[in-house]
Amino acid sequence: MPQPLPFPIRKECPPGACVCGRDELLEAWESQPDGTDIRVLRLTREDEKRLLERIEAAASYADLLRLEQRMKENANISLVITPSVHGVRTVRGLSIKLIEQPGLCRRTRENIPAAIRRCLDAHPEIVYALLNARDLLGEASSTDLGESP
């Protein structure tokens, strides 16, 4: 008999609409509950909407760092923001991605970077702080948002 989940989880996507691996992750958790991290399933659609609102409302680089840390702690979502090798003239010059992992919905992988772009468009000072943390000359390696230079 399957164990009950310790928290409410995201409803499954319509068949064929997503390749998140939600069912495979749940099966792995049922066979090895201690060895499988299912925190990403904790991000329900309602929680995702609240997260997107918080990301867009971030007013400083420190706020964005805190949000990234909370995403990692609560849902095991890793964010990677890297400047283009050709330089950054606009927010479009930044590569914003979530690390692929089972259970992370396709829409979430698209929505979170889009919300970060909207935040950066509204607060260019965050882009400058991000670039300063990465070394303006582009010599820093591509690391996740929360890692210090």
CA 138/CA 149 separation, integer angstroms: 12
Examine residue 12 and state whether it is found in any structural domain, yes or no. no
Examine residue 86 and state whether it is found in any structural domain, yes or no. yes
Q: Which residue has the tokens 């409302």?
A: 57
Examine residue 15 and state whether it is found in any structural domain, yes or no. no
Please report, in angstroms and rounded to a whole number, the separation of the first and last CA atoms in the chain. 48
Examine residue 6 and state whether it is found in any structural domain, yes or no. no
Total number of domains in the chain: 1
Examine residue 127 and state whether it is found in any structural domain, yes or no. yes
Per-residue pLDDT of the chain (149 residues; tens, 9 = 90+): 456 777 888 888 887 778 888 888 888 888 888 888 888 988 999 999 999 999 999 999 999 999 999 999 999 999 998 877 666 666 777 888 999 888 888 899 999 999 999 999 999 899 888 888 876 544 444 444 544 44
Examine residue 24 and state whether it is found in any structural domain, yes or no. no
39 contacts 25 by C-beta, under 8 angstroms: no
Examine residue 16 and state whether it is found in any structural domain, yes or no. no
Examine residue 119 and state whether it is found in any structural domain, yes or no. yes
Give the domain range for residue 112: 43-134
- pTM of this structure: 0.81
